[in-house]
Amino acid sequence: MTLGFAEIALPVPMRGHFDYLLPEGMVPCIGARVLVPFGRRKLVGIVMRCKSASDMPTDKLRAVETLLDEEAVLSQLFLDWLNWASQYYQHPLGDILFTALPVNLRKGLTQDALQKAWQLTDKGQQCDPQDLKRAAKQQALLIALKPGPQLHQTLSEHYSAAIFRALEEKDLIEAANLAVAAKLDWPEHISLAEQPRPNLEQSLAISAIAHQNETFRCFLLEGVTGSGKTEVYLQAIEPLLRQGKQVLILVPEIGLTPQTVRRFQLRFGLDVGILHSGLTDNERMQVWRQARSGELGIVIGTRSAIFTPMKSPGMIIVDEEHDGSYKQQDGWRYHARDMAVVRARLENIPLLLGSATPSLESLNNALTGKYQHLLLRQRAGQAKPVQHKLLDLKGQQLEFGLTRGMRQRIQAHLQQGNQVMLFINRRGYAPALICHQCGFVEECHSCDRSYTLHRSLNKLQCHHCSDAKPIPHACAQCGASPMQPVGMGTEQLEQGIASLFPGYQAARIDSDSARGKQKLHQLLEDINQGKHQLLIGTQILAKGHHFPNVSLVVILDVDGALFSADYRAAEKLAQLITQVAGRAGRAHIQGELWLQTHHPSHPLLQDLLNNGYQHFARLALKERRFAALPPFSYQALFRAESNHAAQAHDFLLQVRQLLSPGPEMAAIGPIPALMEKRQGRYRMQLLLQSQQRTGIQQQLNRLMGQIEKLPLANKVRWSLDMDPQDF
Ligand code: ADP
Ligand code: ZN
């Protein structure tokens, strides 16, 4: 029987595979890339299956043009893993497969092209670079090749074809083939640096992992900042590395944590593969290849590094597992931590999740015994604990969100030569309406939840039952007017700060100002050298970096999170506060952390400050259970945006009608998104919620095809987000 047909996955926004004819003699591997005609274009596709017949009439089928790989670029295990993801996230497989591949492979570069390399000839080895001093580029290339062969792909970023030709004609360089056997002897070269003796809790954690490091098992390592989690990672992976097993470590933000990477390098004396958004496509490709061939013992990377293949996988570690950056926020909205759980299960290796402030999802899994819970309660270092204080904003005169007392306090810290950090919590962007005199917040009576202010609609809306009412002119409790929304943007604050504290330099760190690794790096460098005295930022400031000279931290708008319609806002705020407190004034300065609020006696706030995150998180979990919110229920969010508010609304209404919500699946909406208008487009949402994951999955499996075919589906921009993190 000849397998004359192939099912090909293509990176197009359509579900299902496409049948193609296989030309005589072409026998592709499953998971290999091919080039196929598609409409008028040529697309790179992945072979999913070869078969002897097709349901399509043969004369309608087109033929595969080129087979790009001898070997699969996606292993069967990866295909299974990504297939699962396609089902789970209700996202087209083709797009998922291509997300998981390095750009060079997506573009269809052949293995030959990717492996083309240059090396010095004997003559080139003996050539004194000085002889080429009149041709600076040629000289540079010669010097670059002195240590050994290099990939053409990488070199061609710096040298033009003419340079290669010139040196080749002088017989100084020649083509080399890097398809030589991978160097797998790194385990023999591990040279262990001196390491601290683990304390009791660390020892317990390390041995618990060591006892179960051969099969799938999830561990949650919950330990306050500075309690020695990284040390546990280091000691837990040592035995695996010695057996030649590879370790993949995910971190939220590499630009902020170069010291973590260095610690892994120094501890084992091994090369560490690093993957983050600042790399070129070729650099990324190189790490991918080395990890896949088994040449790298350790790979550290941000979210998309979860797709790094490993020849001999030993363990996956997700550091700061609660961090929001693990969730992809557009296109295929996967969660790298959740993808890691499924991958570890398929690879049959342990997964280690670490955090000072675990997500409620992971904490729940640990408390119910699904994950093994490892606790570190003591701080390993000798940093002084930070003092927390609450500042009641009610009736106070504010300038740029700061009271007079706070402005004086900031001035005092600056005069002592210390740095001050000001945080704005962006979560819960469209906030509740709060009375500045008495702190009253307007609540929905059926849900006991605060209404969310929607300025452009000119109304208050409950995001839990979609009830709406007009914006009140005065406070229903004390009669004061007007009511005010909480919150302010970073830019606005930056401008205000400059006028409030002349003579001091302010630096703003948010995802806009910190774009690009060089820029962020420079900014952090400047901060640590004291060029800036005032640091203004969002969550990104709290990620893994240490600011030893910060003595005062102010969180400006706690209420925005306490009364947000986004039920995760309080959890995120608690994580922020705890992470910041763990990092400010580490060395010798006594740090102070101030929280500004209209509700100093709010129970969650009180619990967090008096009993710490661990206690808070357990209380918050009880609340979630009571309210049947995740992780005690499951959610999916349809988003739609359009220049015409009615179109976005009508599309979601039709989706809702198709889905026919009932007892096994509730639907809330369509209602405006928290940020109801962005760049001139109206944004609406429809939330699905169910006690069982299958409640949502079954309906979507059945109906996604129909939803995609709705006439409005082509008119509005829409997406589906499983386990949404942002509302
Ligand atoms: P975390 O990852 O929890 O923030 P680290 O592993 O970075 O904590 O540890 C914080 C500091 O304490 C580091 O400087 C580390 O070298 C040190 N440390 C960790 N464990 C020990 C230990 N058992 N004895 C002495 N110092 C330790
Ligand atoms: Zn309500």
Return the higher-pLDDT residue of 377 and 352. 352
At residue 150, the 3 state secondary structure works out as strand
Span 508-523, average pLDDT: 67
Look at ligand 1, atom 24, and give the residue with the nearest C-alpha: 196
Per-residue confidence (pLDDT) for residue 256, from 0 to 100: 60
Return the higher-pLDDT residue of 346 and 489. 346
Top mutation candidate among 231, 234, 260, 586 for ligand 1, by most atoms within 8 Å of CB = 231
Q: Which amino acid is at 517?
A: K
Span 518-536, average pLDDT: 81
Q: What distance in angstroms lies between residue 674's CA and the mean position of ligand 2's atoms?
A: 15
- The answer to whether residues 538 and 510 touch, using CB atoms and an 8 Å cutoff, is yes
Return the higher-pLDDT residue of 472 and 653. 653
Taking only the tens place, the pLDDT of each residue in 281-316 is 888 998 999 999 999 999 999 999 999 999 999 999
Q: What distance in angstroms lies between residue 202's CA and the mean position of ligand 1's atoms?
A: 10
Return the higher-pLDDT residue of 367 and 726. 367
- The answer to whether residues 343 and 376 touch, using CB atoms and an 8 Å cutoff, is no
Q: Residue 34: which residues within 8 A CB-CB, separation 6 or more?
A: 6, 8, 20, 28, 44, 45, 46, 47, 64, 65, 66, 67, 68
CA distance 359 to 616: 12
Q: Residue 382: which residues within 8 A CB-CB, separation 6 or more?
A: none
Q: What distance in angstroms lies between residue 487's CA and the mean position of ligand 2's atoms?
A: 22
pTM above 0.90, yes or no: no
Provide the edge-to-edge strand list for the sheet that holds 666-678. 666-678, 681-690, 634-642, 717-722
ipTM of the complex: 0.97
All residues with CB under 5 Å from ion ligand 2: 444, 446-447, 462, 464-465, 467
**Closest atom of ligand 1 to CA, residue 223:** 3
CA distance 478 to 468: 22
**Closest atom of ligand 1 to CA, residue 319:** 2
Look at ligand 1, atom 20, and give the residue with the nearest C-alpha: 228
Q: For residue 691, how many other CB atoms are within 10 A of its CB? A: 14
CA distance 144 to 87: 47
Span 704-709, average pLDDT: 92
Provide the edge-to-edge strand list for the sheet that holds 506-509. 387-392, 592-597, 550-555, 419-423, 534-537, 506-509
Of 311, 307, 248, 277, the closest CA to residue 82 belongs to 307
Q: Would you give the distance in Å from CA 248 to the centre of its chain?
A: 15
Return the higher-pLDDT residue of 576 and 326. 326
Q: Which amino acid is at 674?
A: L
User: What is 397-447 written as a DSSP string?
Assistant: --BTTB-HHHHHHHHHHHHTT-EEEEE---SSSS--EE-TTT--B-EETTT
**Closest atom of ligand 1 to CA, residue 199:** 23
User: What is 659-725 written as a DSSP string?
Assistant: H--BTTBEEEEEEEEEEEEETTEEEEEEEEEESSHHHHHHHHHHHHHHHHHSGGGGTSEEEEEES-S
Per-residue confidence (pLDDT) for residue 434, from 0 to 100: 82
Q: Which amino acid is at 335?
A: H
Phi, psi of 345 (to 5 degrees): -65, -40
Instruction: Count how many residues are written for the chain.
Output: 727
Look at ligand 1, atom 19, and give the residue with the nearest C-alpha: 228
Give residue ranges with CB within 6 A of ligand 1: 196-199, 202, 223, 225-231, 380-381
Tokens 């080395």 belong to 290
Per-residue confidence (pLDDT) for residue 1, from 0 to 100: 58
Taking only the tens place, the pLDDT of each residue in 612-622 is 898 999 999 99
Per-residue confidence (pLDDT) for residue 588, from 0 to 100: 64
CA distance 81 to 97: 10
Tokens 């005010």 belong to 484
pLDDT at 687 over 90: yes
Per-residue confidence (pLDDT) for residue 181, from 0 to 100: 63
Ligand closest to Cα of 546 equals 1
* Alpha carbon distances (Å) from 361 to 17, 332, 535, 620: 34, 21, 32, 11
Q: What distance in angstroms lies between residue 447's CA and the mean position of ligand 2's atoms?
A: 4
Per-residue confidence (pLDDT) for residue 99, from 0 to 100: 95
- The answer to whether residues 400 and 490 touch, using CB atoms and an 8 Å cutoff, is no
Q: Which amino acid is at 16?
A: G
Q: What distance in angstroms lies between residue 225's CA and the mean position of ligand 1's atoms?
A: 9
Span 248-256, average pLDDT: 83
At residue 41, the 3 state secondary structure works out as strand
Cα-only R_g, the chain: 28
Per-residue confidence (pLDDT) for residue 234, from 0 to 100: 97
384 secondary structure, DSSP code: P
CA distance 631 to 367: 12
Per-residue confidence (pLDDT) for residue 427, from 0 to 100: 47
Look at ligand 1, atom 10, and give the residue with the nearest C-alpha: 226
pLDDT at 33 over 80: yes
Ligand closest to Cα of 195 equals 1
Per-residue confidence (pLDDT) for residue 129, from 0 to 100: 86
Tokens 């041709």 belong to 135
Per-residue confidence (pLDDT) for residue 384, from 0 to 100: 64
Q: What distance in angstroms lies between residue 133's CA and the mean position of ligand 1's atoms?
A: 50
Q: Which amino acid is at 481?
A: S
Per-residue confidence (pLDDT) for residue 38, from 0 to 100: 95
- In Å, the largest CA–CA distance within the chain is 90
Q: What distance in angstroms lies between residue 586's CA and the mean position of ligand 1's atoms?
A: 13
Of the candidate ranges 18-32, 237-251, 271-285, the one whose mean pLDDT is the lowest: 271-285
Burial class (CB in 10 A: 0-12, 13-18, 19+), 512: exposed
Look at ligand 1, atom 27, and give the residue with the nearest C-alpha: 380
**Closest atom of ligand 1 to CA, residue 582:** 4
Taking only the tens place, the pLDDT of each residue in 406-445 is 999 999 999 998 889 888 765 444 567 888 888 888 888 8
Number of H-type helices and E-type strands within the chain = 22, 32
The tally of CA atoms less than 13 A away on the side-chain side of residue 665 is: 22
**Closest atom of ligand 1 to CA, residue 380:** 12
pLDDT at 456 over 80: no
Per-residue confidence (pLDDT) for residue 398, from 0 to 100: 81
**Closest atom of ligand 1 to CA, residue 197:** 23
Buried b (16+ CB within 10 A) or exposed e, 238-263: bebbeebbbbbbbbbbbbbbeebbeb
pLDDT at 105 over 70: yes
Of 151, 184, 182, 183, the closest CA to residue 280 belongs to 151
Of 186, 256, 264, 190, the closest CA to residue 232 belongs to 264
Taking only the tens place, the pLDDT of each residue in 654-668 is 999 999 888 889 999
Q: Which two tokens stand for residue 588?
A: 């010798």
Span 251-255, average pLDDT: 79
Of the candidate ranges 169-183, 233-247, 336-350, the one whose mean pLDDT is the lowest: 169-183
pLDDT at 514 over 80: no
**Closest atom of ligand 1 to CA, residue 234:** 6
Look at ligand 1, atom 15, and give the residue with the nearest C-alpha: 228
Q: For residue 346, how many other CB atoms are within 10 A of its CB? A: 15
CA distance 623 to 397: 34
Taking only the tens place, the pLDDT of each residue in 555-567 is 888 887 888 778 8
Q: Residue 684: which residues within 8 A CB-CB, separation 6 or more?
A: 639, 640, 641, 645, 648, 649, 652, 669, 670, 671, 672, 673
Per-residue confidence (pLDDT) for residue 516, from 0 to 100: 57
Ligand closest to Cα of 448 equals 2
Q: What confidence tier does 713 reach under pLDDT thresholds 50, 70, 90?
A: very high
Q: What distance in angstroms lies between residue 190's CA and the mean position of ligand 1's atoms?
A: 21
Q: What distance in angstroms lies between residue 453's CA and the mean position of ligand 2's atoms?
A: 13
Span 640-667, average pLDDT: 92
CA distance 13 to 615: 45
Helices (H), 323-381: 336-347, 360-367
Q: Residue 155: which residues within 8 A CB-CB, separation 6 or more?
A: 118, 141, 144, 164
Q: Which two tokens stand for residue 178?
A: 């890097």
- The answer to whether residues 151 and 282 touch, using CB atoms and an 8 Å cutoff, is yes
**Closest atom of ligand 1 to CA, residue 227:** 3
Per-residue confidence (pLDDT) for residue 255, from 0 to 100: 65
Phi, psi of 665 (to 5 degrees): -150, 120
Buried b (16+ CB within 10 A) or exposed e, 198-220: beebbeebbebbeeebeeebbbb
The share of the chain scoring above pLDDT 70, in percent, equals 92
Look at ligand 1, atom 14, and give the residue with the nearest C-alpha: 381
Span 269-276, average pLDDT: 92
Q: What distance in angstroms lies between residue 187's CA and the mean position of ligand 1's atoms?
A: 25
CA distance 276 to 325: 12
pLDDT at 245 over 90: yes
CA distance 13 to 10: 9
Most confident of 319-333, 441-455, 488-502, 578-592: 319-333
